[in-house]
Every structure is written in C-alpha cells, then in structure tokens.
Chain A
C-alpha cells in the first residue's frame, strides 16, 4: 500500500492510501468531534461536525473529514477559527432540535448558545447511526428513514421488529447521540401494537400505515 505524506495542524505525518482524513488525524492523536461516525459503519458525512480546512493548490476549502480521502501533499487544519465557528453554528442548529446527550456535551465544550435558534424539539438529528447499524451490521430491517428534506425521519417497522429485534443485541439504542432512541425503544419493543404520536422521530408504522405512507408523511 502506498504511503502518503501530509501536514496536519503543522505536523508532518505519513498516511496510508485509502484512509479518510478523520482516521489519519485520530491516529495522530488529534481529536475531531463527530456525531454520525462509528467504527463499525461506513462513513456517512451527515453531521458535518468533523469539518476541517484543507489547503490545495493555494486555496483553502472546508470538507467533511470523515468522507474525504487522504491525498499526497495535502495540508489539513483541524481547528482554525473558521472551523471553530462552523462547528459552533452546526451545534447551535442541532441544539434547536435536540438539546440532550452528545449534542449537549459538545455544545458545552464549544460554547454554543442553546437559545440562538427557536426550539423545534424532534430529538432526532438524523445521524443515521441506528438505521445504519440495523441495516449494515445486522442486515436487518427494523429501522429506516422515510421522506425527504424537512419531512425526513426515522421510522420503526414493528412487524419486522417482531422477528428481528428480539434476537438482536439492540446496540442501535446505545448509539443514539441524542438519548431519544432508548426512551422510545424502551417503550416500543415490548408493546408492538402501541401507536405513538407522530411527533416522535421513531414513529410506529403498521402494515396498513405503510400502504398510506406517502399520504401520512405529507
């Protein structure tokens, strides 16, 4: 495997071809905050908290380090004022929907103002950790996304969960960075026939509901 030479935060380092900037930086002991990254899952690039600045051909550019592959001669800065500012704004936007868990911790660390944006509490930041763990690692289909844009949400398919969730380690629950999934799941797993208000990010969909899916998410 080819070895690449890069400069991260002024430090000359060597990286393996095919690694992402995030992996290279972490190996060098440089910490980059993430919410949607997990070592068992493929990179997703959803939360953008891992944004870093790269210098290429004399120009600087902000990229998501979890999906950007290492390149020969790349100069990377992980904590410039521009990057810090971007992270604070991302966190402030996330706080508007989910002021708990990992988000709350990182917000305190970066000094994000939780009152900057009006609250719209859905308690889900659409990081996709639970969905991807279910589909990628377990190859099961109890959780999924539906919809697009502001309508996008995580849904839970009880008729599939009946078979798959009970024999699964249910690690998806502990992955949730906003602490909402454990709360919903704690209630939902034993009672498959319960219906929940639609404000919950993990919505209960029964088979008849699936039929009218495109109507219900309008």
Chain B
C-alpha cells in the first residue's frame, strides 16, 4: 500500500496550497460549492490529502468533520492516495456474464494490485465499478475514462505502457 506523502504527490510543496486557494477563489469561497471544490481538488491530486482538507477548512470556514462527512458519503472521493492512472473494470451484470472476473485477473496479474489498491509508484489504481452503460462492449475496462472492450493480456501490456 502506497503511503506517499502530500509533497511527493505534487511537486513543489509551496504551490499545492496556492492551488487550493485558487480553486476556492474560483468559487468565491462559497460553502455551497463544496462538492465542486472537493472534486476539483481531487482532480488536481487524484485523492483528498489531509493537508488539503485542513486548508479547505480554513478557506471555507467549514468544520473538518463536515468535510469528512461529505468526503466519506460520496463514492467518487478518495481519502487514500490514488495513482495517476485510474483503471476501472466493469462488474455489472452483463460484463460479469461476459467474464469480467477473468479480465480483472488479467489486470491483477499485470499490475500486482487488487481492486481498491494503488501501485507503490502511484502510477496505477484499480477499481471495480457497477454498470458503465455500454454492455454490448462487455467486459469493459476503462483507463482514465477511455473505454476498451475485452482487451487481451498483450493489449493490456501495451495500453499500460502508454500510461505515464
């Protein structure tokens, strides 16, 4: 399990806080835009670091437990480090019937991480999701919101090598 600290996720420790302030300013520091702000911070760092949450608390004047309440309520938010490339494997009914578990095993063997985990170099995170709405392509694999239908091991190797 990767335990990378905040600074190594994003280079230049100084400007990370600046980025959060910038995002808050964009939304006028309004508490009602909290979810949008959290989403943008997550886009920036791939997850929600504790330091970012503490900073957000000061910027928006929202109690920290309130921030964590929202961050743990919605599945999109991650409070543990996530890789630069997010791989989602569909395990919806149609994909399951079309052998999604075999596809997941292929990915597990290549990346050596289980669903919900991140590689130590923070390059990949693997997730399983419900239906992606393109059952005809099943079993479907998503690399950074790019759809791939039932890739073979050699195709996967090629796709992964293209991810930085």
Binding site for B on A (CB under 8 A): 131, 134-135, 139-148, 155, 157, 160, 207, 210-215, 217
Nearest CB in chain A: distance from B61 CB, A = 9
In the complex, are the beta carbons of B64 and A146 less than 8 A apart?
A: no
Q: Given known contacts A146-B72, A148-B72, is B78 in contact with A214 (CB within 8 Å)?
A: yes
What secondary structure prevails in chain B residues at the interface with A? helix
Q: 20 new A-B pairs (CB below 8 Å) besides A135-B63, A212-B80?
A: A134-B63, A135-B65, A135-B66, A139-B63, A141-B57, A141-B63, A141-B64, A142-B65, A143-B65, A144-B69, A146-B68, A147-B73, A160-B64, A210-B68, A211-B80, A213-B68, A214-B77, A214-B78, A214-B79, A217-B72
Contacts of A217 in B (CB 8 A): 72
Assess the B69–A157 pair: CB atoms within 8 A: no
For B50, B57, B69, B78, the residue with the greatest tally of chain A CB atoms inside 10 Å of its CB is B69
Query: A157 with B50: in contact, given A148-B72, A211-B79 (CB under 8 Å)?
Result: no
- How many positions in chain B have a CB within 8 Å of any CB in the partner chain? 14
With a CB–CB cut-off of 8 A, which chain A residues contact B78?
214
Q: Which of A134, A143, A160, A214 contacts B80 (CB 8 A)?
A: A214
Q: List 5 A-B contacts (CB under 8 A).
A: A141-B57, A148-B72, A148-B73, A207-B50, A213-B72
List the B side residues contacting A142 at CB < 8 Å.
65
Q: Which residues of B contact A148 (CB under 8 A)?
A: 72-73
Interface residues of B (CB under 8 A from A): 50, 57, 63-66, 68-69, 72-73, 77-80
Least Cβ–Cβ distance between A93 and chain B, in angstroms: 22
Task: Tell me if B65 and A131 are in contact (CB < 8 A).
Answer: yes
What residues on B are CB-neighbors of A141 within 8 Å?
57, 63-66
Q: Which 9 A-B pairs have the closest CB atoms?
A: A144-B65, A141-B63, A146-B72, A145-B69, A214-B79, A141-B64, A141-B65, A213-B79, A148-B73
**Given the complex of chains A and B, what is the CA–CA distance between A217 and B57 in angstroms?**
22
Q: Give chain A residues whose Cβ lies under 8 Å from the Cβ of B69.
A: 144-146
A155 close to B63 (CB less than 8 A): no
Closest residue of chain A to B72 (Cβ to Cβ) is: A146
A91 vs B80: C-alpha distance when bound (angstroms): 38
B80 cross-chain contacts in A, Cβ below 8 A:
211-212, 214-215
Most chain B C-beta atoms within 10 Å of own C-beta, residue among A135, A144, A157, A207: A144
In the bound complex, do residue A210 and residue B65 qualify as a contact, i.e. CB atoms below 8 Å apart? no
Chain A residue contacts of B50, Cβ below 8 A: 207, 210-211
A184 to chain B, nearest CB (A): 16
Q: Which of A131, A155, A211, A214 has the most CB of B within 10 A?
A: A214
Residues from chain B with a CB closer than 8 A to the CB of A160 are 64-65
Which residue of B is nearest A160, CB measured?
B64
- A157:B72 contact, CB within 8 angstroms: no
Instruction: Give the distance in Å from the alpha carbon of A144 to the alpha carbon of B50 in the complex.
Output: 16
Bound-state Cα–Cα, A169 to B54, Å: 25
Docked Cα-Cα span, A134 to B72, in Å, equals 19
B72 A214 Cβ-Cβ under 8 A = yes
Contacts of B65 in A (CB 8 A): 131, 134-135, 141-145, 155, 157, 160
